[in-house]
Chain A
């Protein structure tokens, strides 16, 4: 008996990412072949400047690939219209929202924009989805608060809730744990793990919290100087992939504890 192959939400084929300049292409990473399955929590880790953001921008169609293709639900993302894409892919970005005078409910309800009519009226169905998204992220009691009254941790939950309300197969978060204390870092990632399991959505996030990511993710995408590997965390540990993550002069990966240690 082989395990049923889960539905593949996102797939890249021979993807090369980077920036086009006048006479040459500045390739950040190439030969990227990853597959994200439905209902999985996937972490994207790598050193600063290795190209995590460029990869996320390419996967979310903010930036075009230099080579290769990105498939979302078996369709090339370059063929999606902006509105179609908004119904299968939602984002949580690092940038602060423009107006913090919105109430939590209003902000989460903005996630319904791709589905609402020309003036943005919420149907009963929309309101039910928004309330559900608030419950799933445990922020129902914050509903009427204004966003400027919230802590960073609460605001991050609100942004995740907004992405849930957008009701997409894939949610991509760019460093969702920055600015948070240790407890809230764990809280947010644990929340993402539960959401992936409960809602069957695929959740991809970039992070520097390697310890937490190893413990919580179903799959990890590791970007190193030479390659982009995607596998289950324990396989990556036994393959020794994490050692290639950083220069070895300062820190090294301990296979037994699954943590990085400062060299003495």
Chain B
């Protein structure tokens, strides 16, 4: 029952998201365009080539980050964990920082060629997967998952430090370019890019789906899980791969979207009052999509020419919700 309500909500938010924007387009026209009927050409262009891929991206980002946050919180038994504890964002930021700010230090005139959108995506992917590779190697060596958590944090510190050094030597324009990436953005993707994002995201989701039983076993703690026949290193490997595919790719394409990955699992646990991943995983998936669509609609500032950075909105909307839920129920469900 609750799932049907969530699915209806997703569809509703999806439509609201498409119908809102700097240009006001009548709902009837939007329906016509979505159904493939002829309408005003520029409206058609705005809906099909801008708003629709943006809404699809919002769904991918919200659900993907939510699911990877859930997996990290369960794997590390830590309510503060999110998709980025493994150092994925730090790696991505470092990659982007090197492309946007390092070019002038390293080679001078390369900047103009390098700092195109695709090169940022590639740099971010490369950075996050490099960090991931190290984390994976570590994860097969250590027995305790907590060590991985600390190592992820250390990578975060190292890359922040390198980014600081780079920005100290950078020009104002380079800094601005780097910071714009850091604001996060859903709206810059063409259908081709959305397609590639979706492909990798789907593979990541498939991995998470196969981890549902593992995640439930991990609710008992690692030693019990091992006594139930779980191959802890293999399971950890799969969960980390799934998270990196989801969070790494999303970050590469949209920038580091804060908060969703941390907050959505908490909101869902409070609402559904369960720790069973057979319920949590799909619920987090749907809630993530809903919250992201709503946040994106707000950040559009409908009927105005301004767009707020999505990263600010996710925290502004999400944090009060989490606080309200925790205070109202007085008991944190974890």
Give chain A's interface residues, CB within 8 Å of chain B: 60, 62, 81-87, 89-91, 93, 95-99, 101-102, 106-107, 110-111, 113-114, 116, 118-120, 166
Which of B187-195, B212-220, B294-302, B313-321 has 4 or more CB atoms under 8 Å from chain A? Answer: B212-220
B28 CB, min distance to chain A CBs, angstroms: 43
Question: Judging by beta carbons under 8 Å apart, are A93 and B275 in contact?
Answer: no
**Residues A101 and B212 in contact in the complex (CB < 8 Å), given A82-B226, A82-B230, A91-B227:** no
Give chain B's interface residues, CB within 8 Å of chain A: 77, 209-210, 212-213, 216-221, 223-224, 226-231, 269, 273-276, 278, 333-334
Question: Judging by beta carbons under 8 Å apart, are A101 and B228 in contact?
Answer: no
Could you tell me the dominant secondary structure of chain A's interface residues?
loop
Q: Roughly how many angstroms separate A42 CA and B157 CA in the complex, as a whole number?
A: 52
**Residue in chain B with minimal CB distance to A166:** B228
Question: Judging by beta carbons under 8 Å apart, are A97 and B224 in contact?
Answer: yes
| Contact of A102 (CB < 8 Å), options: B213, B226, B228, B275 | B275
Q: Roughly how many angstroms separate A106 CA and B223 CA in the complex, as a whole number?
A: 18
| Contact of A97 (CB < 8 Å), options: B210, B221, B333 | B221
**Residues A85 and B229 in contact in the complex (CB < 8 Å), given A91-B224, A98-B219, A102-B275:** yes
Question: Judging by beta carbons under 8 Å apart, are A82 and B231 in contact?
Answer: yes
B81 CB, min distance to chain A CBs, angstroms: 13
Question: Judging by beta carbons under 8 Å apart, are B219 and A113 in contact?
Answer: no
B288 CB, min distance to chain A CBs, angstroms: 20
Interchain residue pairs with CB less than 8 A apart (12): A82-B230, A89-B227, A98-B218, A98-B219, A99-B219, A101-B333, A106-B276, A107-B220, A111-B228, A113-B229, A119-B209, A119-B212
- Tell me which residues across on chain A come within 8 A of B210, comparing CB atoms: 118
- Tell me which residues across on chain B come within 8 A of A110, comparing CB atoms: 216-217, 219-220, 228
A200 CB, min distance to chain B CBs, angstroms: 21
**Residue in chain A with minimal CB distance to B230:** A82
A88 CB, min distance to chain B CBs, angstroms: 11
| Contact of A98 (CB < 8 Å), options: B220, B269, B276 | B220
B216 CB, min distance to chain A CBs, angstroms: 6
Q: Roughly how many angstroms separate A116 CA and B230 CA in the complex, as a whole number?
A: 12
**Residue in chain B with minimal CB distance to A90:** B227
- Tell me which residues across on chain B come within 8 A of A101, comparing CB atoms: 269, 273-275, 333-334
- Tell me which residues across on chain B come within 8 A of A116, comparing CB atoms: 213
Please name the 6 residue pairs, one residue from A and one from B, whose CB atoms are nearest each other, closest first. Answer: A86-B229, A83-B229, A120-B213, A99-B219, A98-B221, A91-B227
Question: Judging by beta carbons under 8 Å apart, are A95 and B221 in contact?
Answer: yes
